[in-house]
Structure 1
């Protein structure tokens, strides 16, 4: 916290000591997006509001605690060296405590009483420094009003000036206006500087009409105006493009007998160029010389800049040459402005000549000079010259005004194929302590991959991962897919998928959802025998609705099969189908065979069902094995369901073979159910298969089952030539099933009789 010690007897004009410095920082084109204009330091001498009126004001040096630099800028004393700190005056400690209390507590009567108990006397030094050190304008305003209302302190011009300055800076302009206009009621006289301060504050807030009203009120209130007030009004008006109004007030100023200064003309010319009124700017320039007011370096710099902005470099050159003729020193601003004009006009070679002339004149280019030249060199593809300029910047440790120039330099060097120069740009950033971002590394990685220099690209990836540059909070330049996708693909194809995933995990944390990278990582893990890692990525893709590729799923499924994990392979296959991909028939076969060999017959059956649902009708040999295993293991209903699905799909299985195996293995009930299903669906089966089933049932003593199936066969028009019919009838009688035996006997006789009559009729027909 800084403190200002001012004797009350020296209530000097604070505004005149504070504001001239701020006026000097006004650039000649402050509303422009021009990088030249944004740097307050370089344009200190170029500002049209340069006149400080030091000769008109009696400035006193403060007693202690404040440093007033050239131009009157108030600057706190430097911090004392580390070690034993000098004892602070008691009032300084009180100021710190009061400011801290106001910042941490609501403004209440309790807080006011606490401040009163802390301070026994509210003198000028204390009140002024509390206002100066308050954390925000609201605190300062509350304290200002309270000490006066409570009768603790009577404000004078110094404290009024301070609070108006604070409120103006915080855009609390109505409060500042009320305090200003209320000053005479407190016995404090107005002066020009107080009004100028508020006029300027309204202008900075963009409320031009209030600035004008306040200017007019000065006349009503009898506050004298000098050229300084007019200069501030011109600045406010010109900044907002009110050049016609500025002209009227300029004529009014002349009518009042106030003589304009060089600074006045500088402001007017600057404003006319802002509003693109070049004729008016020229006319005022000539009028200035007609009044025998010599243009200074600010005037010429303003003229040069104005013409350069409209790309009339030839006109700017005339004023540049005229400066030399008039022995007006051309400073860094002059050369930089001229250089910028050449660059924007596409005359980069002339810009380089200006740079050399500048150096030969003993002037060192600054950050704005280099920042102006480098983009032009990139546009003109003069990359060797750009590399030389960058080396100069590193040698002199000069940072550009806009760090985006490094990205542009890297791109331009890569486009011309000079990857080493592009890498030097990254090194330059590190040497200049400029934060490197993922986008800078991405440019190099992308072009190194295009050039096939993957080892260097991988080294950059290692740095990215190690330093977590991608996760940098201040990063505004992201890594493009054209950079990380080729690198991820390379790493995955060369057994370094874990490193690729580490890189991509960092990218995912900043919102990247690139499907190409995901699928490459899945393929990489699958090839390297890490299907679980690949499956985790697939789950992330499903959750975030990121599109996948069939080839990635296929490799994942095959990876599980290679590791001997058919159940997981089936899960991967299911996920593949769920996400809209159609596996090829060979993948179905591989999964079914692997599950079958692992004894997971029912799971293999479900894969078979999924295959049939997708219209794949191949690999019937594997299908037959699965059906046979289901029937032998007692999963008869499931097997029959699968057979029915096969029938509907137009690829009926070999039922005769299945029945034969079931009979051989003694699975009579399964055979019976299968025969029953075939009879109901009227599937074609050899009678020999029926006979095998009937023989098996009879042998197993399941005479009623044999009777039932034989009846169904006969009802369907099947033959009665089964050799064991009589034996079945005999067994039925022996087991007490005489009724079934009698029915079967009559059915056989009736069937034979019918067959015989048919044969007789056939013979008679043939004889006739």
Structure 2
């Protein structure tokens, strides 16, 4: 039977058992177990007059275990409300929180519960209520201010969070570590570097960075998110202490900004300090290796990961490893790694499938897709987009349509613009332009990507009018073209000679300042003017480009070569080399054609013979064909024949057709018959060779031979 006694606890016991929570104003006493230091805590408020008396069990010295002494304790009713309100915040139960607010207000407990209520409202997203309650507080403390700041930050209102922080300081309330941590995250989200630097200064002045590594790491993260990676690195070096999280933040920042060598350098420094990398560290440096195509370094890191058996428990790291090998072009190695992973998910497979699709190994991409499905993994939007790219590359419309059905059944088009673009592109690449247009028109939301895919295919298939029409319709829908869209539209303008529309697009590109660093767009602009015959305009644009590559030069050279301006072409060759740009096979092909148009056969032959020596480019098929045409047009059939004889392999119909065409021009029967026989050995079903040979015989009065070739063409079903 329990014995009830009044509350009498010795001062020594009180000193040993009391803890004071200065933030909440609650004193916590304890219920002690006899003869031990164990205690069960309870709380009571020692200010104000709202107390209720409750009995609590206590085991006292001299009593047997199991015997209880009931002690009357003072219990503040607001404590229970505070606990319930905090529960509402954690559970996002706003309605219950509002009811509790009404209760405490009726009972006159609002002052004691307001901090908890502000926190609850902030967590539930009722930021207006939280702010209103804060304003009504007689004394606003750092806890309430921080709750409101955190609420704004967590609900995507970072600018308001910063304003509240400024108001808090204007009222003379000093931020604590929690406040600073939240505000630094706000600065990172807003990319507000100046605000972040101001907070950094306050942290240093208050001495918070001396013993709070977590706050230090949040500071580093703020600088990284603001793109101030150099400042982040300097800050890390100045920190009194740093841990693996500090280094991970910096390494990930360098990788995200494309400073891959610096990321690897930090990785080395971190290890030199004796800090062992985590899976996150390895994932970041593997990404850097992939971007740099540094496969040797990637393999070293792979060995280190394997030595510590980190792949056994981290699928994200396994995915990073597969991605590194894919980006380095080592697809077989990537597939081997994937097969040996203890577990793999849809991301692992999608990475490999994407790699195969990007390098044109569509069959292998589809094989991986089937294998992934056999493992019971469901594709996501990214997987489907990669597989659709593979289907388009090899014209596998059957598989593409099946994927389209799966996508529709799963409703994925509602959530993925990339997938919609991939579908449009797949149908277009398979030659089903009407289907591509139909799918595009039915998309839940048409994006810049889907319009660009459609415009690009129309332009590639020389349907320039349709491409321009789509471009205008896209703009009418309020979508802003990107560089790829503009490039495709310019190609379409060049195809149909629409120079007026091309100039309009040029003006729009200039207004948006897109030509600054986009070489491909500059090339498209030069090409459009070339194809429209506006060579001087093309030259003017070319000279204004701040960045140009060998393709830019080739576009200009090809345009002037086509109109026979060989002197200008030769001058361009010298100028591009002076810029440090080396001619490639296409450049030299343009050079040879320029010489051919001007009848400069000997000059063309000199360039041809010195290609390897002077430019480090061996003759390609296009160069042999150009020389055969040059000699053939000039009537030097013996020299053209010698060019063919000098080829490493002459089993190319294009070469023999060029030679046979020259024989027709000069009515040369012997060389013509030889070229014809080579052609029908390569492809006896192509009617072109038969027709040319018939014309040669007919032009020289050899009608019987012409009829014989015609009969041969019919027997071989040539067409």
Give TM-score, length-normalised by structure 1.
Answer: 0.41
Structure 1 or 2, whichever has the larger Rg, is 1
Q: Which has the higher contact order (CA 8 A, sep 6+)?
A: 1
Task: Provide the TM-score with structure 2 as the length reference.
Answer: 0.44
